Structure formats: structure tokens, C-alpha cells
Amino acid sequence: MSSDDDVRRLALALPETEERTAYGTPAFYVGTKMFARLHDEPGVLVCWRADLGEREALLQGEPDAFFTTPHYDGHPSVLVRLEEVTEARLGEVLQEAWRARATKRILRDADTDTDADADAR
């Protein structure tokens, strides 16, 4: 079971992420691109996916946690019921959304930092 506070903490831990407001709710951006935002409906998060196929896999594979509405038809995003995902799963979903929206430079820098951290261990 995850919360808005978990979303904020996990999203802001991702490189070059900042919180802004979009559609009147807290939203998380990597560079100039939004990758997640809290929905108007309490306890729901909107997360971008790389493509519609990835979105469909989540909808089919974990229907209690992931859903959509007609508003998002044709858009590579998915709605997440925060009460249905663990903090670890939420972190994965946010990281995938971040990677789907980050620029090549940001991804390269993040991957370089991760490789350097692994080498230091």
C-alpha cells in the first residue's frame, strides 16, 4: 500500500526530477517532460509508459493496481491505484515512467552515475 508521500519521495529521488503543478495537482517532471502526476481522484497516480503495448501489459497483468479511463484512450499512460501497489512496485513504475520521458542525455548521465556507483562497491 503506497501513498502520495511515497510518490513524492520516490519520484524526487530520480535524477533531474522536479515537482511542479499540472492540472491543479502535484506533477513530476524530468527536464521539461512530465512523467507522473497525482490524479484528481485521491489515491490515484497517472504514469507515462514507453508505448501503448507496455500500458496494455500492465492493464492485463495487474488489473487491481492499474486501470485507465476513456480520457486516456490512445495515450501511453496508465492510472495506478496507490493502495494496490507496494512501495517497491511504485518505485519500479515511477522509474519506468521517468525513463520513458527522460532525454537521451539525462538517461546517459543517469546510467553513467549508476555504473560509477556499482564500480565503487
Between CA 95 and CA 89 the distance in angstroms is: 10
Q: Where are the alpha helices (DSSP H) in the chain?
A: 4-12, 52-61, 87-101, 104-120
Q: What angle do CA 37, 11, 81 make, to 5 degrees?
A: 50
Return the CATH architecture of domain 4-111.
Answer: Alpha-Beta Complex (3.90)
> pLDDT tens, position by position, for the chain (121 residues)?
999 999 999 999 999 999 999 999 999 999 999 999 999 999 999 999 989 999 999 999 999 999 999 999 999 999 999 999 999 999 999 999 999 999 999 999 988 866 555 555 5
